[in-house]
């Protein structure tokens, strides 16, 4: 095996972390191999449980794991990638805007930079929508929902109160359905704390451009999920697109308007903007086109996977979906192929048949399709919690989430509004802000 090799992994999601995990195992006895994982967050977010954060079902910090705790030999660098030069084989990063830029050379590079929310250039959507992709997004949404309930409890104008109590979720995929279901559960269970408006004034609307929700699963399970959402009083608008948004309303493509203060966006993602700066082939969505070994053609020893890459299923010719279970397996294959490249042995192509899908529909209900078997209702919900609890990294996190779920069975949801102020120059804080009074 060649000596003195430097491997850089860009991105701290499932793809990046599990590439590093497997590389550490495979190359554990190699002293002259340096593996560095670079991420702008120092934690791995367990995204399947993210919709339960806004509903206060799970404490936010219980579904994140410190990246450094995964490794013994892999180096971790908490910096943001600024530029990538594939020809000179240099990556430039920085920890903060005022920090000195760092340059890291590589012999092998793995791109798992993740994705960003895609607002499709719709007027006012980026400015007024609340994305639901990161931990920060979920915590912001939780505070926003509770703040809306507090405002509505004080509002005497029924028209203004109706807008405050209307929550629009854009996107009928897994994330949108789970988010809408959790919001419905949370507001229903928290409603008794707010006696100044009746529960029937609360409106949760799921807007989906397709003819049915969750096209990734079988039609009968999707129809079950639709009925379950409707039973929870979630309005589902199918074959409906959002045209624009303001702070006061959402306008649909047919010019109907929904008065609301809350638009939650789960309708699309786009690959990292950094990919557009690279000299390699990309598809229409901006993902890097890779070969069957997850390598970028014409760029030897450079790999891309997860949200960054278009990886074709050799059996169907269609791209693999961008899910956590795929990213974990892609990371393992990328690690094995890097080791094979170093040893001069044959690489293996990526092939994976998913075990199934699990979608939570809120309290005591879910749909599941596992190894061709279909489940719905309470048993599917039990499966969802059992399987994902098992997959959650770390015993400590498993115990904390299990405790959260146990307490949720017996106690009402937490409605504490957490307002975290960023540190600002006093001159930027309005005079009527409470922080100014604290200084007097």
pLDDT tens per residue, range 197-225: 988 899 999 999 999 999 989 999 999 99
Please say if the pLDDT value at position 420 is more than 90.
Answer: no
Is residue 213 domain-resident?
Answer: yes
Report the distance separating Cα 198 and Cα 180, nearest Å: 20
pTM: 0.90
Residue 423: inside a domain, yes or no? no
Asked whether residue 110 falls in the same domain as residue 130, the answer is no
CA distance 322 to 47: 12
Residue 63 lies in a domain: no
Residue 430 lies inside a defined structural domain of this protein = no
- Supply the pLDDT for residue 255: 95
Tens of pLDDT, residue by residue over 274-313, are 999 999 999 999 999 999 999 999 999 999 999 999 999 9
Answer whether residue 433 shows pLDDT above 70: no
% the chain with pLDDT above 70: 94
Q: Which residue has the higher pLDDT, 1 or 316?
A: 316
pLDDT at residue number 438: 41
In a domain, 199, yes or no: yes
CATH number where 32 lies = 3.50.50.60
pLDDT at 288: 97
Pair (153, 248) in one structural domain: yes
Whether residue 221 sits in one domain with residue 282: no
Q: Is residue 405 part of a domain?
A: yes
Residues 137 and 103 in one domain: no
pLDDT category at 2 given cuts 50, 70, 90 is very low
- For the segment 183-200, the average pLDDT, to the nearest whole number, is 90
- Judged by average pLDDT, the poorest of 42-46, 353-357, 422-426 is 422-426
pLDDT (0 to 100) of residue 216: 87
Whether 124 contacts 246, CB under 8 Å: yes
How far is CA 12 from each of CA 17, 21, 45, rounded to the nearest angstrom? 6, 12, 9
Query: Is residue 232 over pLDDT 60?
Result: yes
113: containing domain: 5-41+78-117+270-343
CATH number at residue 361: 3.50.50.100
Let me know if residue 321 belongs to a domain.
yes
Residue with tokens 């004034």: 201
Over residues 53-71, mean pLDDT: 95
Structural domain count of the chain: 2
Is the distance from CB of 168 to CB of 350 less than 8 angstroms? no
Is there a single domain that holds both residue 240 and residue 286?
A: no
| CA-based end-to-end distance of the chain | 67
Q: How many CA atoms lie within 13 A of 40 on its CB side?
A: 13
106/234 same-domain check: no
- The reported pLDDT for the residue numbered 31 is 82
Are residues 96 and 175 both part of a single domain?
Answer: no
- Considering the domain architecture, whether residues 263 and 274 belong to the same structural domain is answered as no
Q: In this structure, is residue 177 part of a structural domain?
A: yes
């Amino acid at each position: 095996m060649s000596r003195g090799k430097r491997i850089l992994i860009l991105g701290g999601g499932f793809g990046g972390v599990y590439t590093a995990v497997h590389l550490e195992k495979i190359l554990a006895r190699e002293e002259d191999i340096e593996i560095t994982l670079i991420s702008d967050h120092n934690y791995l977010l367990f995204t399947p449980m993210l919709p339960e954060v806004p509903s206060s079902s799970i404490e936010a910090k219980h579904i994140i794991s410190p990246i450094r705790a995964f490794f013994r030999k892999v180096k971790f660098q908490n910096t943001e990638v600024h530029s990538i030069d594939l020809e000179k084989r240099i990556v430039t990063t920085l920890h903060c805007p005022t920090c000195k830029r760092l340059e890291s050379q590589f012999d092998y590079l793995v791109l798992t930079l993740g994705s960003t929310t895609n607002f499709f250039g719709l007027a006012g959507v980026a400015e007024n929508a609340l994305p639901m992709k990161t931990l920060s997004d979920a915590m912001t949404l939780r505070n926003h929902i509770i703040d809306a309930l507090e405002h509505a409890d004080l509002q005497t104008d029924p028209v203004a109160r109706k807008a405050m109590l209307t929550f629009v979720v854009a996107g009928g995929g897994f994330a949108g359905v789970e988010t809408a279901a959790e919001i419905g559960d949370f507001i229903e269970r928290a409603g008794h704390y707010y006696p100044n408006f009746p529960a029937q004034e609360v409106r949760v609307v799921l807007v989906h451009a397709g003819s049915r929700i969750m096209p990734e699963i079988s039609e009968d399970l999707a129809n079950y999920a639709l009925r379950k959402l409707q039973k929870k009083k979630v309005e589902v608008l199918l074959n409906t697109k959002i045209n624009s948004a303001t702070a006061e309303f959402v306008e649909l493509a047919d010019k109907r308007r929904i008065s609301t203060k809350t638009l939650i966006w789960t309708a699309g993602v786009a690959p990292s903007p950094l990919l557009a700066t690279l000299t390699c082939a990309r598809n229409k969505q901006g993902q890097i086109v890779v070969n069957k070994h997850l390598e970028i053609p014409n760029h030897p020893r450079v790999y891309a996977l997860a949200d960054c890459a278009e990886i074709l299923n050799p059996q169907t010719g269609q791209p693999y979906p961008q899910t956590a279970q795929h990213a974990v397996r892609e990371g393992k294959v990328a690690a094995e192929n890097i080791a094979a490249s170093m040893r001069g042995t044959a690489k293996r192509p990526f092939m994976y048949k998913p075990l199934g899908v699990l979608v939570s529909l809120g309290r005591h209900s879910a749909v599941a399709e596992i190894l061709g078997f279909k489940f719905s209702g309470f048993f599917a919900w039990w499966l969802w919690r059992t399987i994902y609890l098992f997959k959650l990294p770390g015993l400590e996190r498993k115990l904390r989430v299990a405790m959260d779920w146990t307490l949720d069975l017996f106690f009402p949801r937490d409605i504490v509004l957490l307002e975290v102020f960023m540190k600002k120059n006093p001159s930027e804080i309005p005079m009527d802000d409470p922080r100014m009074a604290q200084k007097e």
